[in-house]
Amino acid sequence: MGKKKGKKALKEKIPPTPPEWTVNRSISARNLSTEDLAAVIFGCTHYTIKECLSRMLFGLPAAHFPYVRKVYPGMALFLFNYSDRKMHGVFEAASTGQLNINTLAWTGDDSEKSPFPAQVRIQIRTRYQPLVEDQYKPILADNYFQEKHFWNELDPSQTKKMLNLFMAQGVMKISSLPCWTDKRSNASGESTSSCHVGNSSAGAEIACPTWPTAELVSPWTAPSWGKGPEEPVIKSEQQSFCSDASVLKQQITSVMLERESSSMVDFSNIEPPPEPEDATEMYEEQTISDWEKSSLIEEINEELESEDGGEIASFMTAEDLVDGSVLESDGLLDQSSDFHNIVAKLIQVIEELKASGWERDQRISSLEQDLMVSRAEIQHLKDQHGRMESCTLAQVEQAEENVSLSNSQCSNHQESLLLVGGFDGSSWLAAIDSYLPSQDLMEPLCSMTFKRTSASSLNFNGEIYILGGTNGTSWYDTVESYNLACEKWTNWPSLNKKKGNLAGVSINGKIFVVGGGNRAECFSEVELLDPNIGSWIPVRSMLHKRFAPAAAGINGILYVTGGYDGNQYLKSTEIFDPRECSWRRLQSMSTRRGCHSVVVLHEQLYAIGGYDGCQMVQSVEVLEPRTGSWRIVEPMAESRGYAGAVAVGGKIYVIGGVTNNEADEVLSTVECYEDQRWVVTDLKAVGKRCHFSAVAL
């Protein structure tokens, strides 16, 4: 368990863009919705794992409470040990996620409150052998935001894979669990033990309270979330075991009664018959414990003592029963030749009892594993069913009317534009909306196959192409287009690499994709798509790597500005002439920019806003293609980056984006550039939005 250092709490959730190696920002969670959150990983160290299991309580620092509070009873939980980086499981929540269920957990005498207040009570489903990092890391690959750090939230797919991986490990054999003690509980007879709370700021040795191990869930107890077909099986095995024990007692009683009338024989040199080979192999690790044998012998002796008036008391011990030898405590030794055969039969009965117990345990374990998988699938189906029920027939009809109205408006208004995907301050979007600035009217048009942000979009031959991007955790290489007239989606060949924050431009009947990057690197590569050929073709790379550049086409020439090269934000400009298939430099801008916008108005290129490596900027520069020089014009009213900008009706509209403040606020304002000056409009229909694409129709 450890605290994660970060900046002040954000007023709104902002997606991790640009990556943390481009801007200093803290990433603490995946921010999965309640429907998408299927499991949570809690943390511990060698010093705190005993207390976690003894208390049946997991905890995390308070910063993790936004997703811990989404934990519900029955949710699968895992325990990660920071000391050896092993993953333990499988546990499940016995309560909802709460703050300070136990304010004294993981504290010492000098601390009043728990350092890990985001807590949940737990119980053990089945304790499997722990996983090493090489086993679970491929499943959590999308959760790793640093080499040794990952997000603790798991979606349904990851949860199912983790459960299957634990099942393949095999059940852990646990003889007993440690008891945790607390100096403050001495009045009740509890002892004291010290531990170190993992990753605590003080790292001090502290005392923790004892919690009885009797409260722990037995490894063979069925999970509390439901009863399955294992109950009749367990009952049948218990009846069988008791029946076999009764037969064993009767046989031993018969032997001892016969002993009084039989002659004495010395069996000291006679070895018992060997155990069956298959039973030996089957029970290399499965044995009857000493207390079980002692209990069985004690019960038999008591019954015989009551029947024989105490003359044959305590005639046999656990060692005698297993080894096939009989105690000679009274100097009496049965000399009957049948006695040795009966002892051999007793040994065989014990082995059969052991075999039936092992088979019972195997069946129970198999049923528990099947139930866990089935439960995860059932929960997923319930979630889907709930979402479907929430969408009423009236809402469906209204959505169809809105789409129809949107299509009608797009055909009647040449000044309409499309807003594709993005982030609204609380969630990633899959929506494509039609927006008419002149009437401040926005209507939903359709939805993409999945949520996208930081993608590139463009209008080409009457279709809206959407390239690459991310959903906040994974990067895409997919390309799809939407035909506005036919209302039909088309899938195109994937890009050569998964990436986002790229730039896409259509020139001379072809689509060019430049730059971009992912969590690991920035790219200088350029790809070309000819829809007639239907494949992506690599062309000459740019002179610089550029993450989050901005690009546009003027008179068949491709212009690319700014971006991040992995070390710094750029102010350089490059142009590409498809006829020469080569790149050359132009005059640089006066300001370094990334995640900015470029718009073509009256055959001039406007570079608007962006991030200069320290802050969002409000400056605007204009490139005159004929002279190849930049000039500064009036700045915007607000600093912003990751905004959507488009030129329609002889005006430039800049919509939304992210501005400079402590919370990196998502903007809902719209600014308009007309007659060489900027005006903050009162347009409200779009609302808060950033990391999206704005496309003119």
DSSP secondary structure string for all residues of 419-476:
EEEEE-SSSEEEEEEEEETTTTEEEEEEE-SS--BS-EEEEETTEEEEE--BSSS-B-
Specify whether 209 is located in the same domain as 235.
no
CA distance 16 to 30: 10
Residue at token pair 């646990």: 174
Specify whether 549 is located in the same domain as 621.
yes
Specify whether 408 is located in the same domain as 454.
yes
Domain of 71?
39-215
Specify whether 407 is located in the same domain as 441.
yes
- The predicted pLDDT at position 196 comes to 37
Q: Which of 313, 341, 361 is the last residue of a domain?
A: 361
Specify whether 294 is located in the same domain as 431.
no
- The predicted pLDDT at position 28 comes to 59
| CA distances to 64, 437, 443, 482 from 405, in Å | 43, 16, 8, 17
Does 31 fall in a domain?
Answer: no
Does 3 fall in a domain?
Answer: no
Specify whether 507 is located in the same domain as 653.
yes
Specify whether 666 is located in the same domain as 547.
yes
Does 311 fall in a domain?
Answer: yes
Does 376 fall in a domain?
Answer: no
Among residues 155, 70, 687, 111, the alpha carbon closest in space to that of 429 is found at 687
Total structural domains within the chain: 3
Specify whether 78 is located in the same domain as 113.
yes
Specify whether 339 is located in the same domain as 398.
no
- The predicted pLDDT at position 278 comes to 40
Q: What is the pLDDT of residues 321-376, one digit of tens each?
A: 444 444 444 444 444 567 778 888 898 899 889 888 888 888 898 898 889 889 98
Specify whether 205 is located in the same domain as 266.
no
Q: Which of 192, 215, 238 is the last residue of a domain?
A: 215
Q: Is 499 helix (H, G, I), strand (E, B) or coil?
A: coil
Specify whether 193 is located in the same domain as 339.
no
Give the CATH number, domain containing residue 483: 2.120.10.80
CA distance 346 to 254: 12
Residues of the chain scoring pLDDT < 50: 1-27, 175-243, 245, 255, 257-297, 300, 303-335, 411-412
Among residues 469, 553, 473, 374, the alpha carbon closest in space to that of 155 is found at 473
Does 99 fall in a domain?
Answer: yes
- The predicted pLDDT at position 533 comes to 85
- The predicted pLDDT at position 238 comes to 42
- The predicted pLDDT at position 157 comes to 95
Give the CATH number, domain containing residue 179: 3.10.590.10
Specify whether 198 is located in the same domain as 290.
no
Does 14 fall in a domain?
Answer: no
Q: DSSP alpha helices (H): ranges in 309-425?
A: 318-323, 337-390, 393-412
Does 49 fall in a domain?
Answer: yes
Does 22 fall in a domain?
Answer: no
- The predicted pLDDT at position 415 comes to 79
Half-sphere exposure (Cβ direction) of 463: Cα atoms closer than 13 Å: 20
Question: Would you say 371 and 364 are in contact if contact means Cβ atoms under 8 Å apart?
Answer: no
Question: Would you say 57 and 122 are in contact if contact means Cβ atoms under 8 Å apart?
Answer: yes
